[in-house]
Amino acid sequence: MFENIPLEMRPTPTGITLYGFIAPNAVKVSIALQILGVKYTVRNINILKGIQKSPWYVELNPEGTVPTLVDAGDGSSSPIVIWESGAILQYLLSKYDPEGRVLGYPVDSAEYPQQLSWLFFQVSEAGALQLQANRHFVFPSKKDTEQERNLLKTRYIGETRRIYRLLERHLAARAKSHAPGDDPLVLVGSRVCVADIAHIGWITMAFLIGIDVPSEFPHITKWIEHVIAQKGVVQGLDASGPWFGFSRRAPWKRPGPDMRL
Ligand SMILES: N[C@@H](CCC(=O)N[C@@H](CS)C(=O)NCC(=O)O)C(=O)O
């Protein structure tokens, strides 16, 4: 099944292999794996060098993007290949948290439809729009004229800010009034869930497109700091290499013995 893949990039014969990179859609998956306590092996696909468009990789992931996950199970049956970060997260929840006790909520709970809404909002709106902002701000196409580049940057950074304003309003409303037992520092219910972790990579790198979250969005800032402080989140962010959301240029601090949030 994987004979076209270079030997060193083949998935492990058992267990989970994550084809990822230091990239916000990929770290959603490594954070989920860390929180769920699932062992995995990372194969880095350097998207800055175009490895994601290699024919062998496009056989796994037709869009030629990260992440892709291969689950070889106990090695006794055909491995499962799954791509699209939202699909992978749903797959991991159904396999490793089927009762909704760790990273998801139970399917019959009041929180579940909210979890799904905020997760799909992240994947289809927030991440997709910020991805375009990054593309035109950080990696502008040489084919576009300067006027086109400026138009694209303005449009997608504006769209990203619209999304952030929406998140800020939601978190501000929860801070003002929330059900007993709920945690106002998360998107849904009483604890961090898959919807929260899906946003972390993106929001911690918004400085790259000129959005200074701590000075513009105080509620988002508290939320992000709260999520970063959860067990497994930093390890997931760093799974493919040091997360640049914690670099000297970034406003976020990596929690640790000598660093405080
Ligand atoms: N909708 C996809 C988007 C994946 C995506 O665009 N990933 C980026 C990294 S965050 C990537 O691989 N970019 C390289 C490229 O587009 O060639 C998902 O959520 O998994």
Per-residue pLDDT at 195: 98
Gap from CA of 173 to ligand 1 centroid (Å): 32
In tens, the pLDDT along 203-232 reads 999 999 999 999 999 999 999 999 999 999
On the question of pLDDT at 258 being above 50, the answer is: no
Per-residue pLDDT at 259: 43
Task: Give the number of the atom of ligand 1 that is nearest the alpha carbon of residue 201.
Answer: 10
Q: What would the two tokens of residue 61 be?
A: 């992931």
Per-residue pLDDT at 257: 53
* 203: Cα within 13 Å, side-chain hemisphere: 29
In tens, the pLDDT along 36-78 reads 999 999 999 999 999 999 999 999 999 999 999 999 999 999 9
Nearest CA residue ID for atom 17, ligand 1? 65
Nearest CA residue ID for atom 15, ligand 1? 65
- Residue 241 DSSP class: S
The SS3 assignment for 117 reads helix
Q: What would the two tokens of residue 47 be?
A: 């998207």
Helix (H) or strand (E) holding 221: helix 218-228
The SS3 assignment for 58 reads helix
85 CB near ligand 1 (under 6 Å): yes
* Adjacent-strand bridge partners of 40: 16
Domains of the chain and CATH, by start: 7-96 (3.40.30.10), 111-230 (1.20.1050.10)
In tens, the pLDDT along 8-44 reads 999 999 999 999 999 999 999 999 999 999 999 999 9
On the question of pLDDT at 103 being above 50, the answer is: yes
